[in-house]
Amino acid sequence: MRKLNPVQLEQLRASNRRLRLGFLVAIGIVVLGIALMIILDSELLGIGGATVASFVIVIALGANQGVMKALQLGPHDARAILAQDRQRRRGKPGLSPTVRANLLLAGGLVSLVVLVIAAAYIYQHAGKTVEEGAPTDPWLTTSFIAGFISLIATPTLLLQSQAARHPVRR
């Protein structure tokens, strides 16, 4: 792993903060768009919110990639340097691999429960006819979104749990 001087390390830290802030802003935009979509019964706001959030993420990723390219770092090197710096500043080590694996497993199982509940609600209402011009069911929209997020989060968390439990030796 490459050593960075204090100025380079601060550039990397600032870039990482901007990247995290960009992701939080993107998530906030999507949540706001979904909330407005449910309240106003308009799909356009959800699509617009997702589009704006995508642009925010692309801008944040582009800026972060530029800093990493200028510092001649790959993603793994940058993550390792930031983790080492975080550990040095905190003065204590991070979570042990077993605790981290158990937390990821718990998150994966909770996400699986959310997926099952959302899928059950969606399938329960899937075949029902709806009057034309009737307001949409906000719980159906919410369960669809929660199910979609859990569909992505469940395998990701479970695979990360397995990887944390059995780390690859390099």
DSSP state of 74: -
Residue 61 domain boundaries: 1-94
Do 15 and 71 have their domain in common? yes
Q: For the chain, how many structural domains are there in total?
A: 2
Angle of helix 138-165 relative to helix 6-40, nearest 10 degrees, comes to 150
The whole-number pLDDT of residue 170 equals 44
Do 118 and 150 have their domain in common? yes
Do 36 and 65 have their domain in common? yes
82-139 pLDDT, tens digit each: 888 887 887 766 678 888 899 999 999 999 999 999 999 999 988 888 888 888 788 8
pTM comes to 0.55
Tell me the residue type at 151.
L
d(CA 72, CA 170): 22
CA 85 to chain centroid, in Å, comes to: 23
CA 110 to chain centroid, in Å, comes to: 16
Tell me the residue type at 95.
L
DSSP state of 134: P
* Contact by Cβ (8 Å): 49, 26: no
d(CA 27, CA 19): 12
